[in-house]
Amino acid sequence: MSLKLHSLIAILLVVVQTSARPSAIPSAEAPNDVMNKLKSVFRVGQGIMVYNTGVSSEELEDDEIVCAERRAGKSYCKEVENYIEATRLDKIDPEQFAKFQEYFKDDLEQKQMVETRMEIEKPCSTKTKMIYPEGAMSEDSTWLLVVQHEQHKQGVLVEECEIEERPTEENSTLPLDNMPQCKQNFNYRKLVVLVNGVMKEKMVKLPSNCSA
């Protein structure tokens, strides 16, 4: 079904309408050229659903770190496509894991002091969660594979804006003058990543908090 749909869309794109009659396809090469362009923009799923992937795969193939979060403009990947094949962590020498053992743990939520536990209204709505990123952006804006093994995980506590920037009139119940313009902030922290199959410490960019 997917192949037939691809072919149908390709033919429709290369047919030139003249005097309400389609002209002949210029050459045998044209459908292949259009098919290649089509695949770079759209992905065909089950049945006849065609959808845009946001960022074309060609823009991500340089480092083969592909995920939904990166396509959405975030600095980390929760799940990297083909992560197991790309990392081959099962082939890594156990001594490497032992060398970086201090990193394989979850962040601890900071407990508020008793006198500051009162609920304080924040100007921006945020969500705090623990993530186990399989990929992240480095200081020089390159993408790295983060080590996340079944028995050696790096849990990171992040805080993200629920709505970044100022809401529009359509999705706001308050006058826009009274609504804050929220901004996502980031910090850099060390995580264990893979570089050419070897574990190394690298600084990566992760969400830290949301401010007005």
* DSSP-derived secondary structure for 129-159: EEE--SEEEETTS-EEEEP-BTTB--BEEEE
CB 86 within 8 A of CB 64: yes
Residue 135's domain spans which residues?
A: 59-211
Count of Cβ atoms closer than 10 Å to residue 191 Cβ: 23
Which residues make Cβ contacts (< 8 Å) with residue 89, sequence separation at least 6?
147, 149
| pTM across the whole model | 0.63
Give the chain's domain count: 2
Residue pLDDT tens, the chain, 212 long = 444 444 545 444 444 343 444 444 444 444 455 445 444 444 444 433 333 333 444 444 445 799 999 999 999 999 999 999 999 999 999 999 999 999 999 998 654 433 343 445 678 999 999 999 999 999 999 999 999 999 999 999 999 999 876 554 555 555 555 566 899 999 999 999 999 999 999 999 999 999 98
Residues 116 and 204 in one domain: yes
DSSP letter, residue 3: H
Residues 90 and 191 in one domain: yes
